[in-house]
Structure 1
Amino acid sequence: MPLIQSRFATLIGQNLDAEESARIPELTPALARKLIERIDSVRLFAHAYTMLGNFTYGRFHPCDLLDHAYRHELDGICIHLLDGEERSLGQMSDSQLREVAAHASRLGLDVHLEISSTRRPDVDEVVRIARIMAVEHIRVYSRYEGLLSDVMKRVEADLRYLAELADRHSLHFYFEQHEELKSAEIADLLRTVGHSRLHALFDFGNMINACESPMDALRELAPYIGQVHMKGVRILKEADGFGHRGVLQGSADDDLPGARMLCELLMLGESKPQIIAFALEQENHYYAPMFRQMSEADDPFIPYREMSETGIPGGLSREALLEQEPRWAFNQIRYTRALLLRLRELAELRLQTAGTTSGC
C-alpha cells in the first residue's frame, strides 16, 4: 500500500508546492471506490476555443465541432455565440439553429452555450437562442469597469436577473472566474444571491491573473462549481502580478497542478458528481496579461476587460495554425484520458490490496 500511495502522490503532486503536497489525501478504499465511479461517469466536452483559429480564419462551423466531439467520443460541446464569425450561432436564423440542435441530437451530444457578458441584452439573446436549441446550460462572465465594490453590486444585480430567467425557462447559468474577479469574490456573490440554478465555472488558469494560486481558488469556489474549463498554462511574472500564456496541457511548459485539480474536481459532490462537464479548452499560444495586483488597494479599480481572443501566433502561418489546432486538441484528449486511466488503475490496485473490488 505505501507504494501505491507513493505513486498516487507522485501522479497528482506535479507542480504543487510543499504546503499543497502535504495536503494530498490518502488513497483509502473509500476514496478509491469513489474515484473509480467518478472516472467511469466523467463527461468530457469539446470546447470551441480549442479550434478558435479554424472558426475565425477558416471555415469551421458549429456542426464541425459537433463532428469533432463525436469522432473522439466526447459527450458534448461548449461553444460561444460568436464562434465562427458569419457562421456563428449568433448570426444564424431560427431554422439554422434548429438544424444545429438536430445534428447534436442525432450524434447524441449535449450543447452548452457561452457568452462573455452578464448584461441584460446579451443574456436575453443567449436565452432566446438556448430556448430555440433546447439548451439548458449557459456560461457567463462579467466585464465591468469601476471600483470593485461597484462592480460587485452590478454583478449581483445581474445574477439576480439570471436567477429569474433560470426559474422562468428551466436554465442553469455558470459564472466563470475570468481574471478580473477573485474566486472568493465570486463565491461571495453566489452565496449572497443563493440560487440553486446559479453556479460557478472553474477555469484551470484564469485565477493566475487575479493573483491567486490554483488550489486556493479551487477551494474557494468548490461548493459552487458546476462546470470546468481544462487547459495548460505557463505562469508569467509581470510587475506586481502575474499573466499567463496557454500551452499544451500536461507538457513540460505547463505550470499548473492539473492532475491535482482534476482529482479534486472529480470528487466534488456526495451522492453524485457535482461537475456536469469537463470542457477540454486547449488554448495553445493564448496570452492573458496581469489583471489584479498583489499590493492593490482594499477597493481596487477594475479596468474594462476585452473578450478573450488569440491571433495567429508568431512563426506560424494561417495555414499552419488551421492544420495544427486539431492536433493540439487531440493532444489534450489523449493526455486527459491517459491521466484518468492512470488514476483509475491506482484506485483499482488500492482496492485489490484491501481485498475488495471496484463493484463493492
Structure 2
Amino acid sequence: MHEYPIESSLESMSFMQCIQNRFSALLSHNAGAPEQWPVPELTPAIAAKLLERLDSLRLFGHAYPFLTSLTSGQHRLIDLLDFAWRHELDGVCIHLLDGEERSLSRMSDDELRTVADRARMLGLTIHLEISSTQKADVDHVVEIAHVMGVQNVRVYSRYEGRLSQVMDSIETDLRYLAQLAERYDLYFDFEQHEELKSGEIATLLRRISHPRLNALFDFGNMINAGEQPLQALHILAPHIRQVHMKGVRIVPEEQGFGHYGVLQGSDEDNLPSARMLFELLMLGKQAPQVIAFILEQENHYIAPAFRMVNEESDPYIPYREMSETPLPPGYAVEQMMANEERWAINQITYVRGVLQELRILAECILKTSAGLACHSC
C-alpha cells in the first residue's frame, strides 16, 4: 500500500478519532458498563507494543475440540499435530487422557517419542494437561513429559470439602509441584476451573511464590465461580502464563451462573473475547507474559453453576468430575465428529480476524502519528 503525507493536522486528528472509534467498538463488545471497563486510548506507544506482541504471539491448538473424533473415531494425536501444522499454529495442548485407548497415558515410551518426534519435525511445541494436582497424577505426567521432552504442564484441582480445607490441600500439592518443576526443568500452570475464584488462586500462587508455578486463564470458567470475565482477568493477571480461548453463553441459574459452550465470536457468545485477548497480549512489561494462546473451542459443553451467590464464608466445595461434552440432543456420534474440525477452523478464523483488526488499527495509529495517511477508516 502506498503511503502519502496527510495534508493537515485536522485531517490527521480525524483519522486518529476514526481509528479510536473502531478500537473502542472492538474492545467494548460484551465488556459491560463503559464507566467500569473504559477502553484505553490507542496511543502510538500502545500501538507499537501491541504490534510487537502480535508478532510474537504463539497460537496453539487443543485436543479437546476433537474429543469425539479421538475417542470414538479414527482420529489420532498425530492427526491433531498435522491439523495444527496445516493451519500454521505454533503448538498443541494435549490432555493425558484425550483419546482414551489411544491417549498419551496408554502409550509406550517409544510411542510417546514418535508423537514428540512428529511435533518437532513439524515445528510444533507440545504442552501437556492433567485434571488433578494429586501426587500420583502429577508423577505420571512428569514421567511422560520427560520422555517427550515437554516443559509445560496444565493442572487443576478437584478436591471436595470446605473451601479452607480444599485450599490447604491444594497448597500442599503446589509446593510439591514447585519441587518437581525445579528438579525436572518444568513449568506448571494452575487453571481456574470453575470451583475456585480468581482471588483464591492468586492467594495460593502468592503463598508459594515460585517462578515455575503460574496460572492458566480460561475465557469462561470464572462464570461458574460467580465472577465476571474482566474482573477475573484483572485479579489473576500477575500470574497468567497460558490462556484457553473459547465461546460461552452465560446461563443464569437460581443461585449462580452456569455456561454453555458456543462457537467463539458467534452471536450466542456472551464473552468480551476481543477485550480479553487485547489485555492478555499486553501483559508483561519487557516481554510477553503469556506464552500460549490456546484454541479450545468447546461447542455444546455444559457447565452448571459451581459457586453460589449466597454461599457462606467457608463454603462446601463438591467433588468435580473431569470435563466432557455430551452429545447434544438430536446429534449422532458421526455428526459430532463431522462437525468438530469445522468448528475448530471456525475458531481459528475468528481469532485471527480479531488479531488482524488489532494489527490494522495499531499500524494506522503509527502511520497517522508519523504524518502518513492510513486508508483503513
Using the size of structure 2 for normalisation, the TM-score is 0.93
Runs of 4+ aligned residues of structure 1 deviating over 6 Å after TM superposition are none
Say if 2:270 is the partner of 1:270: no
The answer on 1:352 being equivalent to 2:337 is no
Aligned residue number for residue 11 of structure 1:
26
Shift of 1:356: 7.3
The residue type equivalent to 2:152 in the other structure is H
Tell me what 2:117 maps to: 102
46, 66, 72: which one pairs with 1:31? 46
Q: Which AA in structure 2 matches 1:45?
A: F
CA distance in 1, matches of 2:201, 2:236: 8
1:240 paired to 2:255: yes
User: Could you say which residue in structure 1 is the equivalent of 2:91?
Assistant: 76
Contact 2:31 2:37 in 1 (8 A): no
2:105 match? 90
Q: Which residue does the alignment assign to 1:188? A: 203
1:113/1:130 contact within 8 Å kept: yes
Percent of residue pairs identical: 62
- Find the counterpart in structure 2 of residue 212 from structure 1: 227
Q: CA deviation at 1:23?
A: 2.0
* 1:249–1:282 CA contact under 8 A, matched in 2: yes
- Counterpart-to-counterpart distance in 1, 2:242 and 2:322: 20
Counterpart mapping for 1:262-301 below 5 A: 262-301=277-316
1:339 equivalent in alignment to 2:354? yes
- AA matched with 1:109: L
- Counterpart of 2:4 in structure 1 is none
Is 1:312 the counterpart of 2:312? The answer is: no
**Equivalent residue, structure 2, for 1:123:** 138
Shift of 1:344: 0.5
Displacement after TM superposition at 1:318 (Å): 1.1
Amino acid at match of 1:353: T
Of 136, 153, 157, the residue aligned with 1:142 is: 157
Which of 62, 67, 83 is equivalent to 1:47?
62
Is contact 1:76-1:109 (8 Å) kept? yes
Shift of residue 58 of structure 1? 1.0
Alpha carbons of 1:20 and 1:135: their partners in 2 closer, same or farther (altered >3 Å)? Answer: farther
Matched, 1:258 2:306: no
Q: Which amino acid aligns with 1:325?
A: E
C-alpha deviations, 1:84-110, integer Å up to 9, x for none?
111000000011001111111110100
Q: What is the total number of aligned residue pairs between the two structures?
A: 357
Q: Which stretch shifts more, 19-28 or 331-340?
A: 19-28
Distance 1:82 1:60 in 2: 14
3-state SS, counterpart of residue 189 of structure 2:
strand
Q: Distance in 1 between matches of 2:225 and 2:327?
A: 26
Is the CA contact 1:53–1:312 (under 8 Å) kept in the aligned structure 2? no
- Determine the C-alpha separation between the residues in 2 that align with 1:117 and 1:163: 15
Unaligned runs of 5+ in 2: 1-15, 373-377
| Matched residue type, 1:170 | D
Task: Provide the C-alpha distance between the structure 1 equivalents of 2:148 and 2:353, rounded to a whole number of angstroms.
Answer: 33
Q: Residue 314 of structure 1: SS of its match in structure 2?
A: coil
Aligned to 2:375: none
What secondary structure, in the 3-state scheme, does the structure 1 residue paired with 2:251 have? Answer: strand
Question: Hey, what does 2:71 align to over in structure 1?
Answer: 56
2:12 equivalent in structure 1: none
For residue 186 of structure 1, give the secondary structure of its aligned residue in structure 2: helix
Greater radius of gyration (CA): 2
SS state at 1:243 partner? strand
CA contact (8 A) 1:229 1:281 kept: yes
